[in-house]
């Protein structure tokens, strides 16, 4: 998340906001997946699940060869990223700055930059440390917090 704090790399504020919105969305999706994984008790590790989610998003972004396709990919991503487990509640940066994000995604000249920034957000995303000091992803209300066994799976 240090990338967001870096002021010299952004040409415009809406670029930083898009990356922040993507980071917020990833945090929400990972927390949602952690909660679902606990209830399903599948054989795949949480890290594998998260890696698959990131790879699917990366692939979809890379296949977005038009402005309309990019808008579709990111709109679907943000729609799935219910923040803090509240259905229909978008990531905070998106909620606060929706017009700025939409203008960047819909700009006939800058949509490729929006795709590249989304890929940058995906590549630079680092889960926030939880209160215990372990690097796990969690929604603000703690719904995505993992127990120590799940954390050990990620470390291996």
Contact call for residues 23 and 125 (beta carbons, < 8 A): yes
Tell me the pLDDT of the chain averaged across its residues: 78
Chain centroid to Cα 81, Å, comes to 8
pLDDT reading at 116 higher than 90: yes
Read off the pLDDT band of 67 (50, 70, 90).
Answer: very high
Secondary structure E strands in 6-52: none
* Pairwise CA distance, residues 67 & 72, whole Å: 9
**Those residues with Cβ within 8 angstroms of residue 99's Cβ, 6 or more apart along the chain or in another chain:** none
Which range is least confidently modeled, 30-39, 80-89, 111-120, 135-144? 135-144
Considering only the C-alpha atoms of the chain, give the largest distance between any 2 of them, rounded to a whole number of Å.
Answer: 48
pLDDT category at 133 given cuts 50, 70, 90 is very low
The pair of three-digit structure tokens given for residue 13, joined into one six-digit string? 């504020």
């Amino acid at each position: 998340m240090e990338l967001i704090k870096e002021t010299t790399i952004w040409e415009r504020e809406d670029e930083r906001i898009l990356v922040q919105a993507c980071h917020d969305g990833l945090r929400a999706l990972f927390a949602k997946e952690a909660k679902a994984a606990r209830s399903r008790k599948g054989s795949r590790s949480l890290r594998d699940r998260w890696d698959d989610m990131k790879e699917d998003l990366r692939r979809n972004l890379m296949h977005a060869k038009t402005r309309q396709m990019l808008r579709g990919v990111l709109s679907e991503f943000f729609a799935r990223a219910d923040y803090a487990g509240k259905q229909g509640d978008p990531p905070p940066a998106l909620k606060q700055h929706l017009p700025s994000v939409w203008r960047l995604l819909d700009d006939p000249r800058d949509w490729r930059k929006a795709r590249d920034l989304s890929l940058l957000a995906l590549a630079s995303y680092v889960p926030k440390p939880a209160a215990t000091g372990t690097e796990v992803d969690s929604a603000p209300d703690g719904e995505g917090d993992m127990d120590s066994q799940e954390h050990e799976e990620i470390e291996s």
